[in-house]
Amino acid sequence: MASNCSKMFFIIALVAVLVIPSSLATEFVVGDDKGWGLDFDSQGWAAGKEFRVGDKLVFKYTPGVHNVLRVNGTEFQACEAAENAVPLVTGNDVITLATPGRKWYICGVARHCATRNMKLNITVLDQVASPTSAPGPNSAATGTSASSFYAWILLMLGIVAMMY
């Protein structure tokens, strides 16, 4: 028969399973308190930060004054996006870093990129493996996040099972 105690553990386990994977992702506010603005110190801001798949970049600025364009390396160097590129314009633009590799962002308003350094390039790394995830025979480098997630579920289910 389920006691109050085991019910409590079940709830704790559920919360852990739901909360822990998302807490591994980091949200980076570009420019921190200053936000995304003129004379952006790209190198300074990015220095010492580790960007990983699943993390988010938040570009904060006054709408209409700036915008955010995702560009490639060539466009970044030239400070010019493709003709059909659609800028993010809300002033609170959230970009989820979905794939590893180099990423480039510029402001497309006036000549903010070319003359006021409104450009940001980062390198996104693979998701970090959780120390609780035991590497299984089928675990690939890209599968570490999913397997640590399932390891947590198994662990929590095990705890719940022991309570009954």
Name all contacts of 95-98 with Cβ < 8 Å and 24+ positions apart: 95/56, 95/57, 95/58, 95/59, 95/68, 95/70, 96/54, 96/55, 96/56, 97/51, 97/52, 97/53, 97/54, 97/55, 97/56, 97/57, 97/124, 98/53, 98/54
41 part of the interface to ligand NAG, by CB under 6 A: no
Rounded to the nearest whole angstrom, what is the least distance from the CB of residue 146 to ligand NAG in the complex? 26
**Which residue has the closest beta carbon to ligand NAG?**
82
Rounded to the nearest whole angstrom, what is the least distance from the CB of residue 76 to ligand NAG in the complex? 7
- CB under 8 Å to 139, separation ≥6 — which residues? 133, 147
Q: Return the closest-CA partner of residue 53 out of 20, 94, 98.
A: 98
Which partner, ligand NAG, Cu ion, none, binds residue 30 by CB below 5 to 8 Å per kind?
A: none
Of 53, 71, 106, 109, which lies in the binding site for Cu ion, with binding defined by CB under 5 A?
109
Kindly identify the residues of this chain, within the stretch 76-115, that bind ligand NAG according to CB under 6 A: 82, 102
Segment contacting Cu ion (CB under 5 A): 6-14, 39-47, 48-56, 114-122? 114-122
The CA distances from residue 82 to 48, 70, 91, in Å, are: 31, 10, 21
Of 15, 39, 73, 110, which lies in the binding site for ligand NAG, with binding defined by CB under 6 A?
73
Of 30, 40, 60, 66, which lies in the binding site for Cu ion, with binding defined by CB under 5 A?
66
123 part of the interface to ligand NAG, by CB under 6 A: yes
Which partner, ligand NAG, Cu ion, none, binds residue 109 by CB below 5 to 8 Å per kind?
A: Cu ion
- CB under 8 Å to 156, separation ≥6 — which residues? 13, 14, 16, 17
How many residues sit close enough to ligand NAG to count as binding (CB under 6 A)? Answer: 9
* Residue numbers at the binding site for ligand NAG (CB under 6 A): 72-75, 82, 102, 121-123
